[in-house]
Every structure is written in structure tokens, then in C-alpha cells.
Amino acid sequence: MADKKNEKERSVEDRLKSLYQLQTILSEIDRIKILRGELPNEVKDREDEIVRYQTRIKKFEEELKALNAEVSKNRGEIETRKQKLAHYEEQIANVENNRQYSYLEKEKEFENLEIELCEKHIRDAQAKIEVKQAEIDRAREELTDNEHILEQKRQELESIVSETKEQEEKLLQEAKNIEPEIDDYTLAAFKRIRKNARNGLGIVAVQRDACGGCFNRIPPQRQLEIKMHKKVIVCEYCGRIMIDGALAGIEEEVVEAPAPKKRASRAKKTV
């Protein structure tokens, strides 16, 4: 209850000042993240790439295993049919008539055709094995290269993070301490605006009669309302919360108007 009461007692002016202070801290955190550049995304992309190569290699190895199994199966089939051929040869030596001989010759011919077919299957499978093994070798090379690059990127990122970690943690704590000074509704609106803003600015100061976010001109009546600090006002063009430059602690730059040029006096003509 006490917190709610204090929240009500805080003036719009105080809330806007706290909000602008929060924006300043968050902008500094953004600057630190920009300093890190695209490294976090590059590390994540490289990790995803490594997972893809590992998955690809695993799939190729399973296909290779299946092809080797097919070769073994056909070789076993050949051995079985060669045994049958040897058995038919023994039977031919003891045939009693042409009919038995013709039957055994046809069986031998059939077994020889089956052996040729198995040998063809073996050749086809071995050709596929060579291709698949080459694909595995290439994928492993790519995997090794990506792992090496990932390690370099991680070291580079860790170096930058270690340099800015303490500063970022301090700023995050400062931001956390300021948030309770702002009412929940305004804070939620600020975070939503900041998330959608390209430059991460949720509140901007009015300078030179224009919005500090989109730089569109603010009508004089609107500027007067902003300077009164009676309510939270957003830019009608970009939707950012606006604050008077003086309240934000920004000195308005005074641009001196150029001195008017003196007109050259015309000399009176004498008659």
C-alpha cells in the first residue's frame, strides 16, 4: 500500500526524469552490445552450422552402414549360390537321362544369373560407398574448419565480454534501481516503444522545436504541454515519449540570427 501511495505522490515530472535517466543507462548498455558487434550472432550461427554438419555426417554414416550391409548380404548370397552350383555339378556327374541333365543345366544357368545380379548390386553399392565416403570426408573437413572458426569467435567474444562485463552489470543494476520510480503503466509502455524503435529510444527530448526521435516538428501548443509536465505525452509521428529538453538536462543550442545587411545609401543627384 505504501508503494502505491508513493507512486501516486510522484509527479509526472519526477517520473519523466527517472524515465529519461533509465533511457540514458539503457542506451549505454546498447552501446556496449554494439561494441560486441555481430559476434554473439556469429557464434550462434557457427554453432548451428556445426550441428548441421554433425547431423549430415551421422546421416551419411548410417547410409554407408546400410550400403556395406547390402554388400555383405550380396556376397553371402553369392557364396550360397556357388555352393548350389557345386552341388548341381556333383548331380550332373551322376545323371541318368537327358531330362535330368537339362534340368540341372537350367538350374546352373539360373544360379549364374543370380550371381551376376548380386555382383552388379555389389558394384553399384561400392560406387555409392565411394561417393558417400567422399561426402563424409568433405563434411568432416568443413566441420573441422567451422569448429576452428567457432573457437576463435568464442575467444574474441569472451575477451570483449570480460572487458565490459563489470560495466554492464553495474549499469543493469542502476537500471533495476530506477525502474521502481516509474509507474507500471508508463514503464510497460516505454519498454514496448523501445523494443519497436530502431535505435532503442523510448523517450526523447524535444530540441529545436522537433522530436528527438523522428525529428518531426512539434507544434507550439504541444511543446507548451510538454513543458508543463502535467501528463505523459507521446510523439504523434513516431510514438516515442517526449520530455522537455530543460527537464532532461539538455541545454538548448542557441543559434544566433545573422545581422541584417546594411543597405547602401544612394547618393543624391545634384542638379
- Per residue in 181-195, pLDDT (tens digit) is 999 999 999 999 999
Q: Is-contact 36 156, C-beta < 8 A?
A: no
**Domain-ending residue, one of 150, 176, 202:** 176
Per-residue cell: 186: 508508463
53: confidence class by pLDDT, cuts 50, 70, 90: very high
Higher local confidence (pLDDT), 125 or 31: 125
User: Can you give the residue range of the structural domain that contains 149?
Assistant: 36-176
**Domain-ending residue, one of 153, 176, 199:** 176
Q: Average pLDDT, whole number, for the chain?
A: 87
Q: Is-contact 77 156, C-beta < 8 A?
A: no
**Domain-ending residue, one of 141, 160, 176:** 176
Residues 169 and 219 in one domain: no
**So what's the pLDDT on residue 1?**
40
Instruction: Examine residue 194 and state whether it is found in any structural domain, yes or no.
Output: yes
Residues 188 and 235 in one domain: yes
Q: Is 244 helix (H, G, I), strand (E, B) or coil?
A: strand
260: confidence class by pLDDT, cuts 50, 70, 90: low
- Evaluate if residue 229 carries a pLDDT over 80: yes
Residues 98 and 215 in one domain: no
Grid-cell match 550391409, residue found: 69
270: confidence class by pLDDT, cuts 50, 70, 90: very low
**So what's the pLDDT on residue 271?**
34
- Evaluate if residue 106 carries a pLDDT over 60: yes
